[in-house]
């Protein structure tokens, strides 16, 4: 779909037996893959997810009835905030962030609501040798309380009732992908607060540079949704950003998160 990452896969009905090995290979090569016209029931969506990994419950949002690992990602007509509306890697504030995530479009607005993806392989590989050496030994502190804009509708309700909970995890700034062996930048503006052993003020200049650098246009692709579209991204080497440009319209997606490992 673009020079950096992303591929659309045709000729596959995910409600039936799927070529799991071929899909997995495309996923690892392209970092995010897309399907169109998938009229999946929640059970069929779960079956496909199990072919690709281990579905897990999302820490802040209750799943739909009968399927605790399937959550609704929605923005209603009167709302101004969207779910995760900033560049980020999913739940980097967990000790073991997810391997990947799947998003299936149920209802889409008449315009807008695209999702941007950015390759963190390219973000790392395009840095100078000196900057790569500097980053190799750094560890980042990630917090679920870092960015208000990335909170879900449910997060805001819990915060107002005093029931919110903060998650904090430390991860290497440069992580090695456990399957491809490639290195990727692993900080993000939504969750990364500072470097371990440094203050926020000391960390801020370098983090500000990295946050700008890692989403340069040449590292990205853009996906326009239709009802029945499905995206499956590798959370270990990508970031994503759902564009919040459809105020006054409803958008409803179903998401499944797949278990990951501790970043190394």
CATH number for the domain that contains residue 67: 3.60.130.10
Establish if 181 belongs to a structural domain.
Answer: yes
Establish if 1 belongs to a structural domain.
Answer: no
Establish if 64 belongs to a structural domain.
Answer: yes
Query: Which tens digit of pLDDT belongs to each residue from 5-25?
Result: 999 999 999 999 999 999 999
Establish if 2 belongs to a structural domain.
Answer: no
Catalytic residues: 88, 90, 240, 255
Establish if 142 belongs to a structural domain.
Answer: yes
Q: Can you say how many angstroms the Cα of residue 27 is from the centroid of all Cα atoms in its chain?
A: 14
Establish if 62 belongs to a structural domain.
Answer: yes
For residue 180, count other CB atoms closer than 10 A to its CB: 15
What is the domain count for the chain? Answer: 1
Query: Which tens digit of pLDDT belongs to each residue from 148-162?
Result: 544 544 454 455 444
Give the range of the structural domain holding residue 89, as residue numbers without chain letter.
7-258
Query: Which tens digit of pLDDT belongs to each residue from 181-207?
Result: 999 999 999 999 999 999 999 999 999
Establish if 125 belongs to a structural domain.
Answer: yes
Counts for the chain of helices (H) and strands (E), in that order: 6, 15
CA-based nearest residue to 71, from 92, 52, 90, 93: 90
Whether the full predicted model's pTM is greater than 0.85, yes or no, is yes
Query: Which tens digit of pLDDT belongs to each residue from 121-150?
Result: 999 999 999 999 999 999 999 999 885 544
| DSSP one-letter code for 67 | B
Q: Alpha-carbon dihedral of residues 251, 67, 57, 174, nearest 10 degrees?
A: -60
Q: Alpha-carbon dihedral of residues 161, 167, 173, 178, nearest 10 degrees?
A: -120
């Amino acid at each position: 779909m673009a020079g950096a990452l992303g591929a659309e896969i045709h000729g596959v009905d995910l409600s039936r037996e799927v070529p799991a090995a071929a899909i997995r290979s495309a996923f690892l090569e392209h970092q995010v893959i897309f399907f169109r016209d998938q009229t999946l029931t929640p059970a069929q969506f779960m079956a496909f997810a199990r072919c690709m990994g281990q579905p897990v419950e999302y820490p802040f949002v209750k799943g739909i009835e009968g399927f605790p690992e399937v959550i609704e990602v929605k923005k209603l007509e009167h709302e101004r905030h969207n779910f995760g509306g900033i560049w980020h890697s999913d739940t980097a504030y967990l000790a073991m962030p997810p391997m990947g995530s799947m998003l299936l479009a149920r209802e889409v607005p008449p315009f807008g609501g695209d999702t941007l993806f950015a390759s963190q392989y390219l973000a790392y590989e395009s840095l100078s040798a000196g900057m790569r050496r500097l980053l190799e030994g750094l560890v980042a502190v990630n917090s679920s309380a870092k960015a208000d804009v990335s909170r879900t509708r449910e997060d805001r309700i819990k915060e107002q009732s005093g029931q919110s909970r903060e998650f904090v995890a430390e991860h290497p700034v440069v992580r090695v992908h456990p399957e491809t062996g490639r290195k990727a930048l692993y900080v993000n503006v939504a969750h990364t607060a500072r470097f371990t052993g440094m203050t926020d003020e000391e960390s801020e200049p370098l983090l500000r540079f990295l946050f700008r650098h890692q989403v340069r246009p040449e590292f990205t692709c853009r996906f326009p949704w239709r009802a029945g579209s499905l995206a499956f991204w590798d959370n270990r080497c990508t970031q994503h950003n759902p564009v919040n440009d459809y105020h006054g319209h409803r958008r409803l997606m179903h998401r499944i998160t797949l278990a990951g490992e501790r970043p190394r």
